[in-house]
A = this chain, B = another copy of it.
Amino acid sequence: MSENTRVDGRTPAQMRPVTIERGWSAQAEGSALISFGATKVLCTASFTPGVPRWLAGKGTGWVTAEYSMLPRSTNERMQRESVRGKIGGRTHEISRLIGRSLRAIIDTKALGENTIVIDCDVLQADGGTRTASITGAYVALAEAIEWARANGHVSKNAKPLTDSVAAVSVGIVDEIAMSDLAYVEDSRAGTDMNVVVTGSGDFVEVQGTAEGAPFTRAELNTLLDLAVDSTAELAELQRTILAEGS
């Protein structure tokens, strides 16, 4: 293997094949089954008129998200959080990240007093579940807003979506900066960064973590460059999928 190729033959800057199946669910107001390689996440958006009590009467809507993994989405079966009786820190962290990412591109005034709950359930996990979740959640969210407009819950002229949003994990593995880490790469990465970027190319979240040795400013810059390129590809795919109709 040459130094610049990866276990599955990709170049460092190359993402895995990404597919998005819109309108997967017959029940939800918006939905998308997204895959980043072997990672598969079912994203649904549930639209409900009205907001939680603490927001009522302010004329603004609410978007929130929950993330979970099926027990055998992983290589070894994990115990269900419902069986353990509590939600782990990692699950909380990712649910909050997805919610913040979507709220960054929502104009809650334009949404009106309506609530959208996003569920991201990982059916199969091979690294990048949180970034696939954010990228798919945006498509489900956009579908739910189309639905709400078609059903008169959001007015024709209102533009609740101010931009699109997508995310990718980037990292340094064996001293090479790489995009869209698969599980085996992620577990060997010295530095791991999840970057959430709008369709316009601005940052919503930058979360970089030194798993081993601390990282330098130069390494940080290289990783951000990779992330900006990959999320631009994802934004393009989202646009195409949403233009097709469900």
Contact = CB atoms under 8 A, between A and B. Distances in A.
A80 B82 contact: yes
Interface in A194-208: 197-198, 200, 202-208
Contacts of A114: none
Interface residues of A, number: 66
Interface of A: 25-28, 31, 38, 42, 44, 46, 48, 66, 68, 70-75, 77, 80-83, 85-93, 95-96, 100, 104-105, 117, 119, 121, 123-126, 163, 193, 197-198, 200, 202-210, 213-217, 220, 224, 228
| Identical subunits present | 6
A102 B73 CA distance: 22
Contact of A72 (B119, B198, B204): B119
A74 B27 contact: yes
Contact of A210 (B80, B90, B205): B205
Contacts of A163: 214
B87 A83 contact: yes
Contact of A202 (B74, B77, B88, B215): B215
B208 A217 contact: no
A68 B82 contact: yes
Contacts of A126: 26
